[in-house]
């Protein structure tokens, strides 16, 4: 039976509960324990798949094809354990399950209620897989005090007695704000939020206090006293310059040894070397590259969270700092100004849905192709590159994806047969891991160094095989296919220095310690493009 760690959040949202959960998991894993992290989300949607990224941020896709909260991305990047469908549970899923059971007559004779029926269902998902791991960490979405997360909190309160008090701890992540006019860190919001938690029967064992400046002993003592915890249980998480510093920071605060002590687990030896090395590389790059990301949700960085991370992993692997220039695709629609790209060493078009900004993305793909700028198109980005190639190289003037023009003469991106029949929007895309067989004569193969890879998908449309030969004759290289469904997975341009479009989302599988080969190679290509540009400028001056 696993030990259970619950992570709640207080004061306000966006305090980094997910990264805290992931860092604690990483420390326990670093001590040789197996860890699984789950996230309970209080909204009624069954999954975040149909939510607008502006509201929810990125939808993270697991290997087994679940559309989940972006915190699962942090869990995978920090730990070696893969997350699964049942690692992200929403209120919607719980009610769906309970209502289905009620209709099937499972509760015959009973009034179906939040306590115990909803809470029992929540318990079931929390306890799942507890025979396979030393620790199950569960993050509760939302902020304590919200009405919506109450059933989750009530469940974890009850669980203390179900699994035994020695097998469970509660960690509360709060904020200790610095009030500039007073020049002081303030503990009151933390006190209030812990009081709120205690009012519903949960006494936190540990507090992770986020702050802009370090907490001194006086403040720690005050928090301990008012929140009913020991002073060493007041853990300070000061703002760090990179999220990969947090495990080291929390270790220095003694969080993992305290957790182990409270849960009566061995304080096994820990090695933090790999984290030190990553942080050192991030802080001391040999040079930098500028990457333009041409997207639709560029004002909300969370919408491209994994992409952001994967680009930085590509930088870490090459000892380079990656500066991302976010470009709103709509700004490139009417007036394409190449000055925008003057300082740019690589262009990336990420995944997306809907027609807004498409013309701008096609313009960016065109610029990258013609100017030989390293180009990486992901999912929709690949589809835009294919449309651009069809229109401007194959001269299929109104070529398009049927997502944007159902009546195009050249549907170079189209639905495959299975997708044509689907009527529901939720959970109905090509989702999760599929095999990609690489063409040995491709940049993709040279980057991966292996013939077969599995990559994660989230899309409805595909490269239309009807036009495949025409594209190949016109200089496009098919870098990889899915042999089972005969689908194009990767396209490249033969004459270009580095131009890759992939139908899958490689960013979901990149980790700081295992950077994704395509991102590593893309950053490498961008850097050599930068060096070549500098050489050219020099030779022009001489
Ligand atoms: N909208 C496109 C499709 O459904 C691309 C999706 C994506 O980029 N994830 O195929």
| Full DSSP string of 112-147 | P-IIIIIHHHHHHHHHTTTTT-SEEEEEEPS-BTBS
Residue 192 designated active-site = no
Phi, then psi, of 388 in degrees rounded to 5: -60, -45
Considering 74, 154, 507, 516, which one is annotated as catalytic? 507
pTM greater than 0.85: yes
Cα of 376 vs centre of ligand 1, distance in Å, is 15
Q: Ligand 1 pocket, 259 CB below 6 A?
A: no
Long-range contacts of 96-102 (CB under 8 A, 24+ apart): 96/46, 97/121
Half-sphere exposure of 247 (CA within 13 A, CB side): 27
E strand intervals along 13-75: 35-41, 60-61, 67-68
Which of the residues 227, 379, 436, 502 is marked catalytic? 379
Cα-to-centroid distance, 379 and ligand 1 (Å): 6
Mean pLDDT of 39-68: 89
pLDDT tens readout for residues 129-187: 999 999 999 999 999 999 999 999 999 999 999 999 999 999 999 999 999 998 899 99
What is the pLDDT at residue 426? 60
Which domains can be identified in the chain, with CATH numbers? 3-277 (3.40.50.300), 285-533 (3.40.50.880)
CB 231 within 8 A of CB 221: yes
pLDDT at residue 423 in the model: 55
Classify strands 234-238 and 287-295 as parallel, antiparallel or unpaired. Answer: unpaired
DSSP-derived pairing of the beta strands 178-179 and 35-41: unpaired
Pocket test for ligand 1, best of 415, 458, 501, 505 (most atoms within 8 A of CB): 458
User: Which residues, other chains included, contact 76 with Cβ-Cβ below 8 Å and sequence gap of 6+?
Assistant: 82, 83, 508, 511
Q: Whose CA is nearest to atom 1 of ligand 1?
A: 353
Cβ 294 under 6 angstroms from ligand 1 = no
**CB of 353 sitting under 6 A from ligand 1:** yes
Taking 80 as the threshold, does the pLDDT of residue 238 lie above it? yes
Position 421 confidence tier, pLDDT thresholds 50, 70, 90? low
Q: 350, 380 in Cβ contact below 8 A?
A: yes
Q: What angle do CA 238, 89, 173 make, to 5 degrees?
A: 20
Atom of ligand 1 nearest to the CA of 403: 1
- Catalytic residue flag (residue 496): no
Q: Is the CB of 94 under 6 A from ligand 1?
A: no
CA of 134 to the centre of ligand 1 (A): 38
Asked about 313 being catalytic, the answer comes back as: no
pLDDT exceeds 70 at position 422 = no
Q: What whole-number distance in Å separates Cα of residue 34 and Cα of residue 136?
A: 9
Substitution site in 383, 404, 463 for ligand 1 pocket (most atoms within 8 Å of beta carbon): 383
CA distances from 302 to 127, 297, 299, 355, 395 (A): 30, 9, 9, 21, 38
Q: How much is the pLDDT for 419?
A: 59
Pocket lining: 352 vs ligand 1, CB cutoff 6 Å: yes
């Amino acid at each position: 039976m696993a030990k259970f760690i619950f992570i709640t959040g207080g004061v306000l949202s966006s305090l980094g509960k997910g990264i805290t959960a992931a860092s604690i998991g990483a420390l326990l894993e670093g001590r040789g324990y197996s860890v699984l992290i789950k996230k309970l989300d209080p909204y009624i949607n069954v999954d975040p798949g149909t939510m607008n990224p502006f509201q929810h941020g990125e939808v993270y896709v697991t290997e087994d094809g679940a559309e989940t909260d972006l915190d699962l991305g942090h869990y995978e990047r920090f730990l070696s354990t893969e997350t699964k469908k049942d690692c992200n549970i929403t209120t919607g899923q719980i009610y769906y399950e309970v209502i289905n059971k009620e209709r099937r007559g499972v509760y015959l004779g009973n009034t179906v209620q939040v306590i115990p029926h909803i809470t029992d269902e929540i318990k079931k998902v929390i306890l799942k897989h507890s025979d396979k791991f030393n620790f199950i960490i569960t993050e509760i979405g939302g902020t304590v005090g919200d009405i919506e997360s109450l059933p989750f909190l009530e469940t974890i309160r009850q669980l203390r007695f179900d699994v035994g008090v020695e097998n469970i701890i509660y960690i509360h992540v709060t904020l200790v704000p610095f009030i500039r006019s007073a020049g002081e860190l303030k503990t009151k919001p933390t006190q209030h939020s812990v009081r709120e938690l205690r009012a519903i029967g949960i006494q936190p064992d540990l507090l992770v206090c986020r702050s802009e400046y370090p907490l001194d002993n006086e403040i720690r003592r005050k928090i301990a006293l008012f929140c009913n915890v020991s002073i060493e249980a007041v853990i300070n998480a000061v703002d760090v310059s990179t999220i990969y510093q947090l495990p080291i920071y929390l270790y220095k605060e003694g969080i993992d040894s305290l957790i182990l002590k409270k849960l009566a687990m061995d304080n096994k030896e820990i090695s933090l070397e790999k984290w030190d090395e990553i942080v050192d590389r991030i802080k001391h790059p040999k040079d930098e590259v500028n990457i333009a990301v041409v997207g639709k949700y560029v004002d909300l960085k969370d919408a491209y969270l994994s992409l952001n991370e994967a680009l930085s992993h590509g930088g870490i692997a090459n000892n380079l700092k990656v500066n991302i220039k976010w470009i709103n695709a709509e700004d490139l629609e009417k007036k394409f100004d190449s000055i925008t790209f003057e300082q740019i060493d690589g262009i990336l078009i990420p995944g997306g849905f809907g027609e807004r900004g498409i013309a701008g993305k096609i313009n960016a793909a065109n610029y990258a192709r013609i100017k030989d700028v390293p180009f990486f198109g992901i999912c929709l980005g690949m589809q835009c590159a294919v449309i651009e190639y069809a229109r401007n190289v194959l001269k299929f003037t109104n070529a398009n994806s049927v997502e944007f023009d159902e009546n195009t003469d050249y549907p170079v991106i189209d639905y495959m047969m299975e997708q044509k029949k689907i009527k529901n929007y939720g959970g109905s895309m090509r989702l999760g891991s599929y095999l990609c067989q690489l063409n040995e004569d491709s940049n993709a193969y040279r980057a991966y160094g292996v013939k077969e890879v599995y990559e994660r998908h989230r899309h409805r449309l595909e490269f239309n095989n009807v036009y495949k030969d025409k594209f190949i004759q016109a200089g496009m290289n098919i870098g990889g296919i899915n042999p089972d469904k005969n689908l194009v997975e990767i396209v490249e341009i033969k004459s270009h220095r580095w131009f890759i479009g992939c139908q899958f989302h490689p960013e979901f599988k990149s980790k700081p310690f295992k950077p994704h080969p395509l991102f590593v190679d893309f950053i490498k290509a961008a850097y050599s493009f930068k060096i070549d540009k500098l050489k050219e400028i020099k030779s022009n001056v001489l």
